[in-house]
Amino acid sequence: MWFALIVIFFSLSCLFFGQITEKKIRLIGLALQVFGMGAVLCGIRQTRLFFQKPNIFNRVVARVRNRPRPRPSKIIGSGYATVPEFTASGSGYSWFQNKNGCGVEFRLDSIERNLIMVREMTLRLREECRESSELFDTTVNRETSNLRRSVDEANERLENASTGGLDVSLMGAVWLMIGVILSTASIEFFYLMK
């Protein structure tokens, strides 16, 4: 903001060097208008850069490239698909069957084997659930930290935009306002200072 005041003070002090004429007042007003428009454009450019938007030149070039052609060119289509990472698992087991006409000892032995197999499958399932839960927790924590980082970057950009580009635009608007006043009312200022 000090720079804006210094430019205004310098331009107004130029009025008092030499003879004060209406043409001199109008030219100083014009110079302030030009500086003001340049500062406003610079502020808009800085704000666009903070938000990673393309500049005016790149937008014009993109518009020219995308204009319709006099003769349509051949249209070639292509497609692609992205399949996210996934995990699949499978398991198999065999069950001990009781044969017809077998004794109680054989039946009891096959039931015990089946129960041991069920227990092992249950333990394996519990371990898989624990691993899946840990994987889910780490994924959620990672995504949460990425989201926090993105929000912090967006907040920093907003702060920079409000303190950087908008200050320059405000400075340019002040220069424009004083320049328009000097250029428009140059005759009145000439008679006032005479």
Per-residue pLDDT in tens (0 to 9) along the chain, 194 residues: 567 777 777 777 777 777 878 788 888 888 888 888 887 777 777 777 777 777 777 778 887 888 766 665 556 565 666 666 666 665 565 666 666 667 778 778 888 888 888 898 899 889 989 999 999 999 999 999 999 999 988 887 777 666 555 566 677 777 778 788 877 777 777 777 77
* Full-model pTM: 0.45
Cα–Cα distance, 70 to 85 (Å, whole number): 45
In 65-86, which positions are buried (b, 16+ CB within 10 angstroms) versus exposed (e)? eeeeeeeeeeeeeeeeeeeeee
